[in-house]
Amino acid sequence: MVDVSQLAEPGSPEELLVRRLDLDALPRHVALIMDGNGRWAQQRGRPRVEGHKAGVAAVRDVVEASAQLGLEVLTLYAFSTENWRRPRYEIWTLMNLLKEYLRRELDNLKSNDIRFHVLGRWRELDDS
C-alpha cells in the first residue's frame, strides 16, 4: 500500500493534491511526451542544454513518484525522429545525458525492480 503522506512535504502546495489522490483510480500505465526543455531554457535566457539537464531532474522525480504510487508502467517519449535534425552538439548532449542518467541511476533502478526498455529505432543509437 502507498503511504501518500510521503509524497509531498507538509504544508507544500503539492500536499493538497496528494491528499486528493484516489489511488484506486490511478491508471496502470502513464505515458509522457518529454517536450519543451529547450524552450524552457530559452525563456529563462539559458542555453538549450540547460533545459535538457533540468529535464533529467524532472525525469528522476517522475520515475520516483511513479514507483511510490505503484504505477506499473511508465513510458517516456524522449527522442522523436525529428530530433535527429537538431544541431549535432545538441544530439550529442542529449545522448550523453541519457547515458549519464542510466549509469548514475542503474543501481537504483535495479534495487527498485524498475525495468528499462528502449522502444522504437534503438539500432540508430550509438552502441555505448
Q: Is 45 left (phi over 0), alpha (psi -120 to 50) or beta?
A: left
User: Is the torsion defined by CA of 109, 93, 49, 86 positive or negative?
Assistant: negative
Q: Is 83 a catalytic residue?
A: yes
**Cα separations in angstroms, 28 against 21, 66, 67, 77:** 14, 10, 11, 17
Please tell me which residue in 83, 96, 108, 112 is annotated as part of the active site. Answer: 83
The percent of the chain in helix, strand and coil, each rounded to the nearest 5, is 55, 10, 35
Q: Is 35 a catalytic residue?
A: yes
Cell numbers that stand for 29 in this block: 500505465
Please tell me which residue in 22, 24, 35, 61 is annotated as part of the active site. Answer: 35
Residues annotated as part of the active site: 35, 83
